[in-house]
Structure 1
């Protein structure tokens, strides 16, 4: 089992612990769950970058959105023009879809990292315990954070599949 899977399981455990506690540590468990969910997706994207260009996997967190919409998207744009010129309709379709995946993945990374920063460095910003099994931070429910893994896995898979068509 990879560390990114472990990270998601740890986050889920922290999520359940926060929900099941009424003590002084409830807030800390809740914040830590957001943090671990973020790191789970960070590791997934880092693994994707590693397979695309080993140097990208060594970059700091803040560079990840820039790589997606910078170098990766520029490469896809260039390859899209070639595919259109060559009449490769399937590759055109795949690249177009993947460009949407890149934008969505960037949004998840930016949002998740923003929440991680709030969770870690702004302890005065309250976690809102909505009811017995839900809580949110900055109006992002923990269930949304829990879903980042599945979304990120699918988006990374899409990006890698298209990338591998270009770099066979």
Structure 2
């Protein structure tokens, strides 16, 4: 999806008519959102198949609530068994909380931008120099959503592996 967003962004820049810039720009936001969403959905589905069907707007809530519970429980078990020190568990908890929180925030922001792009046509794209914006979202920032989501997911995979869940 990211490659499609990249191409749509390029096309938005070269259009001479503002309504075409708007259409390609908002479509790029949409594809960039879906790139991040699909990466996250795959990660969620690797742990619980029903999480793969979580509604888009609910994924940030899932990441900030029940998603981490099995990992935290395993850390507690590992500590009780002497397989993990308190400081190691604390470090991994913080790493997990940061990754899930940042991923949730990213998806919330990206989803909001996608909703504006898809359902709010009266909010038009603005272009200042080489920067394309939709409301306060910048397309050059949106282009990094997939890479950032991938990085957060890799951190989550790493923490799960470190506690013995993967």
The answer, yes or no, to whether TM exceeds 0.5 is: yes
Instruction: Please state if 1:34 is matched with 2:29.
Output: yes
Instruction: Please state if 1:138 is matched with 2:127.
Output: no
User: Out of 87, 93, 96, which is 2:94 matched to?
Assistant: 96
Tell me how far apart the structure 2 counterparts of residues 61 and 158 of structure 1 sit (CA, whole Å): 21
Instruction: Please state if 1:72 is matched with 2:67.
Output: yes
Task: Report the TM-score, using the length of structure 1 for normalisation.
Answer: 0.88
Contact 1:84 1:92 in 2 (8 A): no
User: Out of 1, 8, 25, which is 1:14 matched to?
Assistant: 8
Tell me how far apart the structure 1 counterparts of residues 79 and 141 of structure 2 sit (CA, whole Å): 37
Aligned positions, number: 161
Tell me how far apart the structure 1 counterparts of residues 91 and 64 of structure 2 sit (CA, whole Å): 18
Task: Report the TM-score, using the length of structure 2 for normalisation.
Answer: 0.89
Contact 2:127 2:133 in 1 (8 A): yes
User: What RMSD in Å do the two structures reach over aligned CA positions?
Assistant: 1.7
Q: Which residue of 1 aligns with 2:104?
A: 106
Runs of 5+ consecutive residues of structure 2 not aligned to the other structure: none
Contact 1:37 1:145 in 2 (8 A): yes
Contact 1:76 1:99 in 2 (8 A): no
